[in-house]
Every structure is written in C-alpha cells, then in structure tokens.
Amino acid sequence: MEQLDQIFSTQIGAGVILLRLALACLFGAILGIDREIRDRPAGLRTFIMVSLAACLFTIIAIELSLALDGSEDETSIRPDPLRIIEAITAGVAFLAAGSIIRHGRRLEGLTTGAGMWLAGAIGLACGAGFEAIAALVTLLALIILVGLKKLEDGLDRKK
C-alpha cells in the first residue's frame, strides 16, 4: 500500500481514497438503477459519474488543505471547505436543472434532478470520509424512490 501512496502522492492514503471512490460509485449506482429501471434520461452511468466527481473534488480539496496546512508562511493560501462544497453543489445543480423538462403545464425530471443533486451530496460525503452517513442517506433515498413511488401510484389509482 505504501507504493500506492507514493504513486498517488497522497496524505490521506491510497487505500482510504480507493475506498471512498468505490463507495461513491456504489452509492451513485444504487440511486441510478432506480432511474434506469424507470427509463429516465439520467440513469445509472450519470448518477455514478455525479457521485464520483463530487467525491473526487472533495478528496482533492482535502489533500490540498493538508498539503497547505503544513506551510508556515502566514501569507499562504488556505482553502475554504465551504467554498468547495458550494462549487460542487452549484455544478451538480446545473446538471440536475438540465434534466427538468416542461411539457405544457406538466414538469418532468424533477425527481431525476433531485436525485442527481443528492448523488452529488453522497459523493461529497464519501470524499470527506463520512461513508456511514453516505450509506444511510443512500438507503433513505432508495426507500423514498421505490417505496414512495408505490404509494404515489396507489394514490393516483384512487383519483
């Protein structure tokens, strides 16, 4: 593993980074499968890519923070984690907004857009090392996407 740490030039550790990236892919895939099954334009690959990208941006931000933290120069740059989160959120929100389509008075793609936004947040959590929170949120999202869809369908039949 030390050889990987040298290749990756990481302070977090290659094993930790590989785990975080793998979990971001897994959790993004879990959400993307639901969208794929429902034949939505943003499906499995899109959700994985959104989650993976958010994870990578977060890992890079952490690595930069750790690398710059050791510098003793008072004028050195200090990365702001909140700005990094804002940038990731804005980028994912832009993609998610593109999935929303208006057909007359009907809107389509809202759930897909919200799911993409959530996949970005899950990837960010994985990248920051909050894997348990990311797993819990993925489970909750799956319950919402699958369980509440059945409830919605039942309510629609009653109308």
Please check whether residue 41 is in contact with residue 112, taking contact to mean a CB–CB distance below 8 angstroms.
Answer: yes
Please check whether residue 88 is in contact with residue 120, taking contact to mean a CB–CB distance below 8 angstroms.
Answer: yes
| Structural tokens at position 152 | 């919605």
pLDDT at 109 over 90: no
Alpha-carbon dihedral angle through residues 103, 105, 111, 114, given to the nearest 10 degrees: 100
Please, which residues have CB within 8 angstroms of residue 61's CB and are 6 or more apart in sequence?
79, 81, 84, 127
Give domain limits for the chain. Answer: 2-70+79-158
State the pLDDT at residue 134.
Answer: 95
pLDDT at 143 over 80: yes
Q: Residue 7: count other Cβ atoms within 10 Å of its Cβ.
A: 9
pLDDT at 133 over 90: yes
- Model confidence band, residue 154 (pLDDT cutoffs 50, 70, 90): confident
State the pLDDT at residue 77.
Answer: 64
Residue 72 burial (10 A CB sphere; 0-12, 13-18, 19+): exposed
What percent of the chain lies above the pLDDT cut of 70? Answer: 93
- Model confidence band, residue 5 (pLDDT cutoffs 50, 70, 90): confident
- Model confidence band, residue 73 (pLDDT cutoffs 50, 70, 90): low
State mean pLDDT over 85-93.
88
pLDDT at 29 over 90: yes
